[in-house]
Amino acid sequence: MASSILDLIKQQVSAQAGGVEIPAGAKNTVLNGLTDSIFGSLSQTAMKAGGIEQLKSLLTGSTSAASSPITALAGQLFNVNVLKKLNLGSTLNTALSGLIPAVMGKLSGILKDQDGDGDVDFNDILITLKGGAGRASSAGGGLLSGILGKVLGGNR
């Protein structure tokens, strides 16, 4: 399992990118760019007013990854920071941009009601960070720790 947000994102980027033929010379740049864009969108969202609620909505699955403003921001970052510089062509750019909602969808549902009170609240975040049950504890704990660490000034 992933031990951090970056590990989880990298795993999902690699898995999703397997079906897209990326030129060998651009592959590392594309994969790193996807990872950085997704992590950057999560970090930027966490630091803005109302961002924690947007993250909670995405990570609990109550907002679909495809319609999330976090996903849209990741796409913008990827387009500006990677695709415009590589000039891979519109067909490949579209295929690569299409990976972002798929990766973001894999992050959806990581945060769950851990204490059984019927909602996801601060207590559930703490339980997840401390290592609650199942997938949420291993992937979600690293995910939330990575986001909260970034917000609180930790290194990525």
| H or E, element range at 127 | helix 122-130
pLDDT at 129 over 90: no
Structure confidence by residue, pLDDT tens digits, 101-120: 999 988 776 667 777 787 77
- For the chain, the domains span 5-151
Rounded to whole angstroms, the Cα distance separating 147 from 112 reads 16
CA angle 8, 68, 142 (to 5 degrees): 25
pLDDT of the residue at 4? 61
pLDDT mean across residues, the chain: 79
C-alpha to C-alpha distance for 101 and 58, rounded to whole angstroms: 11
pLDDT confidence tier of residue 31, bands split at 50, 70 and 90: very high
pLDDT at 58 > cutoff 90: no
**Quick one: angle between helices 27-46 and 69-78, nearest 10?**
140
| pLDDT (0 to 100) of residue 156 | 40
Half-sphere exposure for 112 (CA within 13 Å, toward CB) = 15
Residue bearing tokens 């920071």: 81
The total of other beta-carbon atoms located within 10 Å of residue 156's CB is 13
Q: Is 0.85 topped by the overall pTM?
A: no
